[in-house]
Structure 1
Amino acid sequence: MMRAVWNGVRLAETDRTEVVEGNHYFPPDSLDRRYFTESPTRALCPWKGIARYYTVSVDGEANPDAAWCYPRPSILARRIKGHVAFWRGVRVEETPEQPT
């Protein structure tokens, strides 16, 4: 199980991330959308396409452009379509499996 945490709050958690270039991309349904606001920032990756960024906000504190995704990636990166990755102080960590 992987999770993304910032300021002590879980932003995303899933057992199925896609790893690309060392970054864990979380599927859209694993995010707690309350903490995300779309940013005007865009970036072009030569092989993945245009990335859109999100500001992450927790308890009144904002972390600008701390998350990004490729809503319409190139065919080479289609497996991360809509998935979200993190940086800028957001911890992405593996959590122990809970016994059933």
Structure 2
Amino acid sequence: MKAVIGSTVVAEAPTEELVKIEGNWYFPPSSLDEGAFEKSPTAYHCPWKGDAQYWNVRSDDGVAADGAWSYPDPIPTAFDRVGQDFSGYVAFDKSQVSLGE
């Protein structure tokens, strides 16, 4: 699966390497175009996943502000709920980033 902004692929991984949580696909850190991601100051806390890190995502077409998020250090009980460790995996704002094959 690919995460694309305009014509720029910002993440790509086989579907079996992704984690689906609450309708969002989370990409493994190794699948990201590292140069496309810049930390955002936006704060969010999920009661069962923990503190999120938001990311501004850069592409040739501009910047998707808060276009992605991850959980660098999820609450450990979340691993049982999800079925695996998803630390650092990144999900995308579907209104700004297209997901597809």
Measured against the shorter chain, the TM-score band is: 0.7 to 0.9
- 1:63 counterpart SS class: strand
Aligned to 1:98: none
Consecutive unaligned residues of structure 2, counting only runs of 5 or more, are 80-84
* Corresponding position: 1:3 with 2:2: yes
Aligned to 1:89: 96
C-alpha distance in structure 2 between counterparts of 1:60 and 1:25, whole Å: 23
* Corresponding position: 1:25 with 2:26: yes
Aligned to 2:86: 80
Q: CA deviation at 1:56?
A: 0.7
Which portions of structure 1, spanning 4 or more consecutive aligned residues, are displaced by more than 4 angstroms?
none
- State the TM-score, normalized to the length of structure 2: 0.86
Q: CA RMSD in A?
A: 1.2
2:87 partner amino acid: K
Which digits, 9 at most, give the CA deviation of each residue in 1:20-74, with x for residues without a partner? 0010000000000111111111200010000000001112611110000000001
Identity %, equivalent residues: 43
Consecutive unaligned residues of structure 1, counting only runs of 5 or more, are 96-100
Distance 1:10 1:60, change over 3 A: closer
* Alignment: residue pair count: 93
1:7 partner amino acid: G
